[in-house]
Amino acid sequence: MKWLLLLGLVALSECIIHKVPLVRKKSLRRNLSEHGLLKDFLKKHNRNPARKYFPQAEAPTLIDEQPLENYLDMEYFGTIGIGTPAQDFTVIFDTGSSNLWVPSVYCSSLACTNHNRFNPQDSSTYQSTSGTLSITYGTGSMTGILGYDTVKCEHHLGSPTQVGGISDTNQIFGLSETEPGSFLYYAPFDGILGLAYPSISSSGATPVFDNIWNQGLVSQDLFSVYLSADDQSGSVVIFGGIDSSYYTGSLNWVPVSVEGYWQISVDSITMNGEAIACAEGCQAIVDTGTSLLTGPTSPIANIQSDIGASENSDGEMVVSCSAVSSLPDIVFTINGVQYPVPPSAYILQSQGSCISGFEGMDVPTESGELWILGDVFIRQYFTVFDRANNQVGLAPVA
C-alpha cells in the first residue's frame, strides 16, 4: 500500500543499511577519446554503456543501500562480491536489463584481459549448470555460461570490524566466455547487474532483486535510486526502502504500463509551454543504464535545433557554453505532474565543452514512439521502483 511505501527511513540508526564503497576510475568517454575512438563510437549510437533495446514489536527495517559513483556523467556503478570467498566486481546497476553477468576466467576476448574475472574454482559455493547466456546490447555483446553462487553487497561502517550487507545465496548469473568488440575493453566496469522485470531476462534467469526479495532479505518489494550531480559522491541504490532525505516534497506515483523494462506513459514534452514532442502521449523507460535522454530521431533533431546544438569533430552535439543559462527548461508531464529538466541538467559540461544530453534513437514499439529517461532525468528526480505495486515513484532530489 502507498502509505507503507511513504514511511521512508525516519531513523537510519535503527535500520539495517548496507553500503558498498565508491570506486573511481577514468571515464569511458576519456578512454575512447584518448584512443581516437570516440567519434566512431558515437556515430554508431554507442554513447551509452548498457543500452539494450534492440534485439508485533517493530522489527528493524531490512534495507540494503548500495553506493554508486557518478562517473563524469557517463555511468554510475558500484562493487559487488561473488563467491566464497568473495571475488569483487564493478557493475552497472541497470534498471533497463534483467541479467547479472561478469567476466570469467573462461573468457579469451581482449575485453576480459583488463577486467576482473570470476574463477569458479576459487569459490566453495559455486554451482555449475548446463545453461548458456547470450546478450546483445546497443554497445556490445557477451556470450557465456550460467552458474549459481552467493552475491554479496558489503560495506564498512567506519571500522574494518563493522561489516554488513546482503548475502544473496543461490543467485544465477552469467560467466562471460566472449565479449567481442572494443566497447567493453574500454568500459570502466566489469559487468552488469540488471534490475528490470524477470520477463525480459535472457535465458529465464532470476534477476538479483527478485532473488533478494524471495529470500526475505529486504522488508519491502521495491528499490530506489539517487544519482548525484556533477562529480559529487553519494549516489545510491537502496534495496528494500525509501530514504526521504534524498528528495523534497512528496513522491508522485506513476503506474508501470508494461512490465518488462520500467516503462511508463508520458503525457507530453514541452518547451516554453509549447509541445515539442509526445503531443498525444508516448511511452518512456526509466533507465539507470542509459546516460542521456533519448527519443525518436525526428523530435530529438528538433530539440537539438531549438537549443542551438551542432555536431563537433568528435560527433557530439554541443552548444555554446555562454548560451546555457538562457536555454529553457524542457518539461516532461507524467501522470498529470510536470517534471522540468533545466538546461543545467540536459547540458553536460566536459573538458571545456557543453554537450547536449539528448540523443536520437528510434526504438519501435507497439505503442509508438519510445523515450528513455536516463541519468540526465534521474539526477533531477529521486526514483522508486516499486515491484509490489508495479509503479514508479518520482520526487525532486534534495
Cα–Cα distance for residue pair 187/49, rounded to 1 Å: 8
Q: Judge residue 257's burial from the number of C-beta atoms within 10 Å of its C-beta, 0-12 exposed, 13-18 middle, 19 or more buried.
A: middle
> Is 287 marked active-site?
yes
CA–CA dist 8, 10 (Å, integer): 6
Left, alpha or beta for 351 (phi > 0: left; psi -120 to 50: alpha)? Answer: left
Q: Which of 94, 190, 314, 386 is catalytic?
A: 94
The per-residue b/e assignment along 293-325, b for 16 or more CB within 10 angstroms, e otherwise, is bbbbeebbeebbeebebeeeebebbbbeeeebe
10 Å CB burial of residue 208 (0-12, 13-18, 19+) is: buried
Could you tell me whether strands 191-194 and 87-94 are parallel, antiparallel, or unpaired per DSSP bridges?
parallel
Q: What angle (nearest 5°) sits at the alpha carbon of residue 29, between those of residues 28 and 33? A: 115
CA distance 180 to 143: 9
Task: Kindly list the distances between the CA atom of residue 321 and the CA atoms of 29, 204, 315, in Å, as whole numbers in the listed order.
Answer: 19, 47, 17
- Nearest CA-CA partner of 384 in 279, 204, 240, 278: 240
User: Which residues, in sequence order, are CB contacts of 86 under 8 Å at separation 6+?
Assistant: 150, 152, 154
What gap in Å lies between CA 324 and CA 321, rounded to an integer? 5
> Rounded distance, CA 395 to CA 381, Å?
5
d(CA 392, CA 222): 10
Closest among 323, 244, 329, 241 to 293, alpha carbons compared? 329
Terminal CA-CA length for the chain: 24
Q: What does the DSSP 8-state code read for residue 196? A: S
Q: How far is CA 251 from the centre of its chain?
A: 20
Determine which one of 168, 287, 375, 386 is catalytic: 287
Active site residue 94: yes
Tell me which residues are annotated as active site. Answer: 94, 287
